[in-house]
Amino acid sequence: MPGKFSYGSWDPFIYIMFSPKKSSPEPKAQSIAVRLLKHKSPGQVTICDIKSSAASVTERDIEEILELLQNGDKTYSNTSAESDNDEMFVERYSDMPSIGTRVKRGPDWEWGNIDGRGSGTVVGHSRVGWLFIEWDNGRTCKYRYSFDGKIAKYDLIECDHPRILSHHQQIATGCLVSRGPDWKWDNQDGGEENIGTVYRVQQTTPVVYVKWPHGVKSNYRFGYQNKFDVRVR
C-alpha cells in the first residue's frame, strides 16, 4: 500500500517517493537522501553524512533531506483520510512525556531547522524511546527521547512555551482551551475550571482533539455546524 514502509526489505527510492511530506522535495535533496539510504537506515544518518555526501550542500538542502528521512520513517499510511493516521495520536508509555506536553530542542538535537527554532507539542508516542512532535511551524516528525533499546538520546526537552497563533489562525495544536459557549459534555473535562491542550486539529471538518488534565482525551466542535464546544484561552 502506498505510504507503508517495512524494514524487512526496502528500496530507498520507493521509501523517499512515498514518504509523507508537506510539499515535493527538490531533486537534489531527493537524490542525496536516496543515496544515503543505500548505506544507512534513516535514524543513522547524521548532518555530517549529509554535508559530506555532495558538494555545495546548503542549509535548505539539509533541512529538506532531514525532513524526508524523518517523515519517511513513519509506519502509517499517508492518505487523504485523516482517520488513517489515528495510530500516531496514542500514548503508549507512562515514562515518556504525555500528549499535549510542550517541547523544544534537547541536548542531542541534530535535525537542522525542521523545528523552525521554535517549540512543539507531543502528539503521540511512536515505538519505545520515540515521540511524535508537531512543531508550531506545522511540521510533524518523530524524535528520540530516552532509551530506544540501543542508545539513550534526547532530541527534546520539555518546556512551558505558550502556543502563539499567527494572525490567520483561530486555533492550532498546542493551544490551551476550556469550555466554550456550546459545551454540552457534562464533566468530561473534569470540571468547568479545567484547561486542556489541543493535540490535533482536523482539517476536513472543523473539529479539534483535546487532552484534559485528568487524562481524558476527546474531540470537540470548533466551528462545526457553527458550534464551539471549546474556546482558546
pLDDT reported for residue 74: 40
DSSP label at residue 222 = B
DSSP 3-state assignment of 27?
A: helix
Q: Is 192 exposed, middle or buried (0-12, 13-18, 19+ CB in 10 A)?
A: exposed
**The model scores a pTM over 0.85:** no
| 167, β-bridge pairs | none
CA dist., res. 209 & res. 216, Å (int): 11
In the three-class reduction of DSSP (H, G, I as helix; E, B as strand; rest coil), residue 91 is classed as: coil
- Residue 84: its pLDDT value, please? 41
Residues of the chain with pLDDT under 50: 1-25, 73-84
pLDDT at 85: 59
- What's the confidence (pLDDT) of residue 57? 82
73, three cell numbers? 520513517
